[in-house]
Every structure is written in C-alpha cells, then in structure tokens.
Structure 1
Amino acid sequence: MTEICTITKSPYGRLQDGRAVELYTLQNNRGMSVGIITYGGIITSLVCPDRDGQCDDVVLGFDALAPYETDSPYFGALIGRVGNRLADGRFELDAKPYQLALNENGVSHLHGGECGFDKVLWQAESRITSDAAELALRYVSADGDQGYPGNLTVEVVYRLTGDNRLFAEYRATTDAPTPVNLTQHSYFNLAGKGDVLHHELTLNAKAYTPIDQHLIPTGEIAPVANTPFDFRVAKKIGAELDTSDAQLTLAGGYDHNFAVSQATAGELTRAARVHEPTTGRVLTLHTTAPGVQFYSGNFLDGSLQGKGRDFTHRSGFCLEPQHFPDAPNQPNFADITLRPGEEYRSTLCFSFSTDT
C-alpha cells in the first residue's frame, strides 16, 4: 500500500555550542512538503503547487543553520512563552511583580525574550498515521527561564495531511502560575518571489487592537469599519498600506492584532484567506486562538538573504494566531495565565489550495 505521507530525517548542522540540529521533511503525494528543524521548531521550507502544478517554496528562510542562530527575524519559528510584546517587560501575577528582558529596543519584551522558544533545541519524535505525517517537538522551559515563573512543559505537533493541510497543535502544562501565549512565525510569499503587496487578503475580523509608539496595544478593541484595517472583503495587502493612517504610520505598515470574529474557545475558526493571483495559490488559516497578528514585513530591508534572493521590504507576510498581545497588562483583554492542573491547548491549520 502506497503511503499518503512520508517523513525523512537528515543532519542540518551544529549550533555554536556544538549541539547537532536535525531536519525533518514531511511530504505528501500531492506535491507538498514541509522542512522543520529541531532548533526553534523552525519551518525552513514549505513547498506547494500552483494552479499549473508548478511547485515552489512559499516561506522565507535561510540556506543553512548559522543565520537562524544569529540573524533571523523569527523566520518560521515557534514562539513562546509569550508571543508578541509585553510593555516594559513587566507583568504582575497573583500580586507579585516580574521583570523580563527588554529585548526589543530596550523598551519591550518580544516573543519570549533573548532566548525564547525560537532559540532552543527541541526533542523530536516522528510518526506516520493513515493520512498524515507528524512531528512532535517537546521542550521543558525551567522555572526562571527568561524571567518567567514555573516549569513549563510544552509539546507542539506539526501534522501534514494528504490534502495539503499543515496543523500545529500546542499543549503545555505548568507547576506554577505563568502567562502562556504560543504561536508560529512563518513569513509567507505565495508567489515565491517579489513582494507581497498584490496578495489578496481576507481577515475574518470586525475589530483590531490599536497600538502605541512602541507597538504595544493601547487596550482599545476598535472596529475596522472605515479604516485601512478592514479586510472583511478581500483586498490587496498594498491597497491602503501607504495611506496617511496614524496606526499604519506607527508600525510602518500592518503589525497589528485582529480579533477573530465568532471565535469559540477550542474550536477551529477561519481567521484569514490569502490569494496570490499570478500563481493561483490560496492559503487559508483556521485557528482556535481569539486573535491573529497580521504583519506586512515592514522591517525586512534587503540585508538578509536566502534561497537565492534578498529579503527586501515587504517580501513576506505573517499571520500569527495568538491571544491578544500584552494581555497580562491589559484588563480589557482575556487572561493568559496557565495554572497547575490546567492544560494550555491551541491549534492552527494552514490549508493550501489553488483557485482552479
């Protein structure tokens, strides 16, 4: 019987401290493959067909391990303990204050700190099921890691199915109260080249969370209607990107959290759809998370290279399912505290198809 999906394992290099990193390649029989390394749980490649059957790599990334360790803007990485930003690197939990590293311009704590989950070596276990290839990654973040309390045990299962869906299923438990907000940080370009301004984006969101000058949410949950943030009907990413909107000016483009409409805890909800008209590729995101960060590649400037090209301004976009940023400091946002005896659970699904 022919397998629908396969997994291969190969060496990917060694970190500066000498530890070996492995590459797992998940592949199905419809032309889709995903490369994932044990360092950072990073998706290094994602190959899928266009409307004519031509396969291209549609994620940004490097050709070797070294730049992932030293230069990466979170290309393809798993993010935690707390994704996105925490104002002043501070939060209070059960009346006790905590101070974390200020690893973004000395003013905020970003994506879990100086050594977040994107910079650790995960333990891997692969398996084949009747309709999928699965890679389970496990890591224990010790009490005090990056300033966070409690020993946090995390498992992330990547699952590639025979119908071109890639799942990431997150589980975590703790022995002391701690904030948790895990996500995935792939940069997509469905054309495999150029910028993403002509990609057509739909976001299932009636509201978003405006930011301040440090890209931290103000606490407001604002309607998208009559703003450049209204993607309820498909429009090109670049359609209103350069308008004189105060929020776009603060972020240098889109770098905002959107509130997923009709989101129900624990249930997959369609959050976004992206159509690339020249290739016909379509990416659809479903998530159990209440929010999704849409980032338009504002900080890419051509100084990073990989896969035979320079990663120039807005040459990739991110859709990061998440709880709302800076939630521990925002009474208007849902609590993200995980406590002993509870289990953190979150699932995302990137589905790939074409318009014909």
Structure 2
Amino acid sequence: MTDAALSPSAPSLTRTPWGTAPDGSAITLYTLRHGPVTARIMDYGGVIVGVDAPDRDGTLADVALGHDEAGPYFDRATASYFGALIGRYGNRIARGRFELDGRAHQLATNNGPNALHGGPGGFDQVMWTSDADVTADGPRVTLTRTSPDGEEGYPGALDVTVTYTLTADGALRLAYHAVTDAPTVVNLTNHSYWNLAGATRDVLDHELVVHADAITPVDETLIPTGTLLDVAGTPFDFRAARRVGERVDDADAQLQFAGGYDHNFVLQGAAGALRHVATLSDPQSGRVMEVHTTEPGVQFYSGNFLDGSVTGKGGQVYGHRWAVCLETQHFPDSPNRPDFPSTRLNPGEVYRTVTEYRFRTQS
C-alpha cells in the first residue's frame, strides 16, 4: 500500500459560544483547521469534541466519538470520558490510596474499589482558562488551570498547561506541562474514542499495531499485578497489524477480566523521546491514525463498556466496541509500584509530555 500525504492549506481558528458550564462559566468551542483536518476543542473538560479527517477519496468524516452540544459532557453517564483531558492521574490507583514520604493520601474510589481518572471531580469535569492563536506550527488552543492542594485528595497545588496544536502535516499535538509546590503524583492523558469509519459501525475490523513487547497484566479489578507479561503468543501481540476483533473474545483470563482489551502496553523505545508507538487503520475507508508519544505506556481500550445506552453526534447510538482508545500514559497504579516508571513530581521539577495523533490515508 502507498501512503497519501495530507495536502497543506492555510491554517485557521474560530471561536464559538457553546453553552454554559455547571458553574455558570461560558464555554467556548474552538475550531482548528489546517490542511484537510479539522479539530474541535472545548474549554470545559479540555475535551476534543471532534476531528474531521478525509478518507482515501477525500471524503471527510468525524473520527472521534462525542456529542453535538456541551450538556451531555456534564454527566459521566453520557460523557463517558469522550475526548476528555484526564488528570490528575489517568487510569487506576488501587483502593484510591498511595503514600508519599510516609504520608498516606486517600482518593475517591469511583471505579469499584479503585480510583479512576482523577476522581469524580477530575480535570474532565472542570472549566479551564483558555486562549487561542495561530502560530508558525498551526492553530492552537492553550488551556491553563491551578488544581488546588487537596483537590480530589491529591497533595500540592498543581499548575497545569495543556496546548493543542493542529499542524500542517495532519497531526493533532497535545503538549502537557505542570509544576507543583509540594510533592505529588501526576499522570495526564487524553481519553478520545477513535472510530476511523466515522462512527458508523464498530471497530472490530480496524487494524492495530502497537510497538510493545509486554503488557502490565491486571487482577480482577484491573489493577496491575506488578509483573510484566510478554505479548508473544498471546492475544496482546500487536507488533504486526492485527484486526481489533481478531482475538478480543478469546478465552484468555486477562481479556475476561476486562471484557476485552483494557490494558497498559509497555512501549518500546526510550520514554521521554517522541516516537511512533501505535498505528490504527480502517482498511475500508483508508484512514490511518498514528500515535506518537514521549510516554512509557499506552492504554488500549476496545470500547467494552459501550453498550448502546449513549446516543452521540447526529443521533448515532454508540454500540458495543464502537471505538478504540489509545491513552498515552505512565503505568496504572504507579504510585504504589516503585518498580514502575515514577509519576512523582517535586517542587522545582517540570512535568512535560507530548502526544501526537497523526492522520493520513492509505490506498
């Protein structure tokens, strides 16, 4: 197959009032255009509301699940973390507890016995201060917020900046920056649900490559056991392209725990360096999305909990396995696993990480 590059065009940026947040703040929807790709970002929850990308014939479709208005994002039952900015800690922390320097910290347990995605009042459920401009790299939206000491149980005041830039080569770049005034833990990510068919069908025929030799296997509550599992000979071997649905229902204990894929993959290459870690493609439309990141892991989630109870854009019902999430991250439960890459952030240090979702087509 040959790859088709996305043709560049002049970048543009528009701002649209998009309702009112629960706290009374006015929400703005930012539309970024650059080349044939368009991205829509709102400042409530830092949500990627939509991404329009062309198929091999140039036909555009929105490849990110979500809603046509702001209201459904205020309720987790309908928000489902669609496109959300996740913090302070993406993924799970066992029993919602961890220690720093001998001091115990208790978080809300909002996922069975565990803490998930920053808690009930996580970064996806708050207003962010927003600004936007057009730079040499492309149109961008910059979100800033101070998470106060003790918010959702996390120590230290955390100053966070997240910048979304749409580049000429079809990449949506997310750059995260944070500093703290006291020791804390940080693991920021984005929780977009991707469907390269334009969310018109499930993703079981999408093909996936993940450059990872191991996963962090989990227990029945989806907390890592602390070991690594070699992917060779398992349903988790995506080192060569494999259909998402090829082995998702195998009689494998790890798949049964999660109802499919919902696992952290240990990425090849040096964490801290921006590198190509995964490729999702839809052979029918020809759309391709590459994931590049500086993070050591990526959570591959196969939409197991989508069950047809949420109606999204254009009245589309989001059925079982209607999307794939590829959440770049540090490993789940790292604050309780000293052998995992550390998520600790100290005063005087700077948390920086970058992830790019690069869109192209193949014939």
TM over 0.5: same fold? yes
1:94: how far off?
A: 0.5
**Percentage of matched positions with identical amino acids:** 52
Q: Hey, what does 2:3 align to over in structure 1?
A: none
Structure 2 counterparts to residues 227-306 of structure 1, below 5 A? 227-262=234-269, 264-306=270-312
Amino acid at match of 2:102: A
Match of 2:63 in 1: 58
Give the corresponding residue for 1:224: 231
Residue 179 of structure 2 is aligned with which of 169, 173, 187?
173
Distance in 2 (CA, whole Å) between partners of 1:15 and 1:265 is 36
Instruction: For residue 205 of structure 2, give the secondary structure of its aligned residue in structure 1.
Output: coil
In the alignment, the residues of structure 2 paired with residue 195 and residue 222 of structure 1 have an alpha-carbon distance, to the nearest angstrom, of 28
**Correspondence for 1:208:** 215
Give the one of 125, 131, 138 matched to 1:132: 138
The aligned residue for residue 332 of structure 2 is 325
* 1:194 paired residue number: 201
Task: Tell me which residue corresponds to 1:147.
Answer: 153
Q: What amino acid maps onto 1:136 in structure 2?
A: T
Spell out, residue by residue over 1:312-343, the C-alpha distance to the aligned partner (whole angstroms, 9 max, x if none): 00001100000011001112212110000000
Residue of 335, 347, 350 corresponding to 2:342: 335
Matches within 5 A, 1:18-57: 18-28=24-34, 30-57=35-62
SS of alignment partner, residue 88 of structure 1 = helix
Map 1:89-100 to 2 at 5 A: 89-100=96-107
Structure 2 counterpart of 1:110, which letter? L
**Structure 1: stretches of 5+ with no match in the other structure:** none
C-alpha distance in structure 2 between counterparts of 1:9 and 1:37, whole Å: 10
Match of 2:111?
104
| 2:5 aligned residue | none
CA RMSD between the two structures: 1.0
Q: Which runs of 4+ in 1 moved over 6 A?
A: none
Q: Counterparts of 1:335 and 1:166 in 2: how far apart (Å)? A: 27
How many residue pairs match? The answer is 352
User: Counterpart amino acid of 1:23?
Assistant: L
The DSSP-based 3-state class of the residue aligned with 2:156 is coil
Cα displacement (A) at 1:266: 2.3
- What's the offset of the Cα at 1:162? 1.2
Distance in structure 1 (CA, Å) of the matches to 2:181 and 2:357: 32
TM-score by length of 2: 0.95
- Shift of residue 89, structure 1, vs aligned partner: 0.2
8 Å CA contact retained: 1:4, 1:131: no
- Work out whether residues 32 and 140 of structure 2, in 8 Å CA contact, stay in contact via their aligned partners in 1: yes
- Is the contact made by 1:4 and 1:130 (CA closer than 8 Å) also made in structure 2? no
Deviation at 1:151, TM superposition (A): 0.3
The Cα of 1:3 is off from its aligned counterpart by 6.9
The answer to whether the 8 A contact 1:302-1:312 is kept is yes
The Cα shift of 1:222 comes to 1.2
Report the Cα distance in structure 1 between the residues aligned to 2:311 and 2:273, rounded to whole angstroms: 38
Q: Deviations over 1:279-329 (max 9, x none)?
A: 000000000000000000000000001112101000011000000110011
